[in-house]
Amino acid sequence: MATHQQAKKQRSRADWLLLILGVVLGSAFGFWITPTILYAEKPQPFQFDHKIHLEQVDDGCKSCHTFREDGSFTGIPDIESCKECHSADEALGEDPAEKEFMKYLQADQPIPWLVYSRQPDCVFFSHAAHSENAGFECSRCHGDHGQSTSLRPYEYNRITGYSRDIWGKGPIGLSGPPHRMKMDDCAKCHRENGVNGACFVCHK
């Protein structure tokens, strides 16, 4: 018993330093190295300036991101929508991205955009319910994506293949947009607003 107490007293400054170092290294591994290993990056097909486009249109996000008659959301506009302003004959700008874009336009090929906010297959999300019925601004979930001047690389989980935006950038949810789009986040908002929280409301 006596020797045990003695050993406790003999804990030196180096011991404490080692402990702190361990905590710091462990945290670094958990918060920094693990996400780096877990997520891979892919570049978008070419750069896109949301801000410059938003300045040209009248109806905000809804000018290009529209609803179909049946209430489904078109998501990222197809090349036909681009053609409403852009023509295959002449580029409108000098940007190197424009050159890339012209290739798709001339070939009349769809642009293989990577969707940051694509949910897993089992999720049913109705844009109509949120933006039309509940009257949410797009930025409430998508952040200031509409004001961005470039597209950040698409990050995806190496194991599941899902976009990192669903998980959210901040590991403890303190950082800003892109906002987390996990089931807990959907359920939290539904609970707070008294919206039906049954499984089939969001699952298919």
Partner 1 sequence: MWRKDQVRYGMVIDVDKCTGCGACSVACMSENNVGVLHDETDKIKSITWLRVYQIDNGKPFPDTEVAFFPRPCMHCQGGESGTPGQGFFQEDTDPDAAHTPCVSVCPATATDYDDATGIVSQIPTRCIGCRYCVAACPYHARYFNWYDVPWPKGTPRALSPFVSPRMRGVVEKCTFCYPRLQQAKNKTFLDGSEVGEMDYQTACTEACPSGAITFGQLQDPGHKVHKLIKTDHAFRMLEKLGTNPKVYYTSKRKWVRMLADNHLSQAKAAKAAASGGH
Q: Which residues bind partner 1 (CB under 8 A)?
A: 67, 69-72, 120-122, 124, 126, 128-129, 132-133, 196, 198-201, 203-204
Choose among 71, 200, 54: nearest CA to 139.
54
Q: How far is the CB of 135 from partner 1 (least distance, A)?
A: 11
Torsions phi, psi for 189 (to 5 deg): -65, -40
Length of the chain: 204
Q: Which is nearer to partner 1, 91 or 187 (CB)?
A: 187
Q: How far is the CB of 31 from partner 1 (least distance, A)?
A: 27
Are 166 and 39 within 8 A, CB to CB? no
Q: Which is nearer to partner 1, 4 or 204 (CB)?
A: 204
Tell me the torsion sign for CA atoms 82, 87, 92, 94.
positive
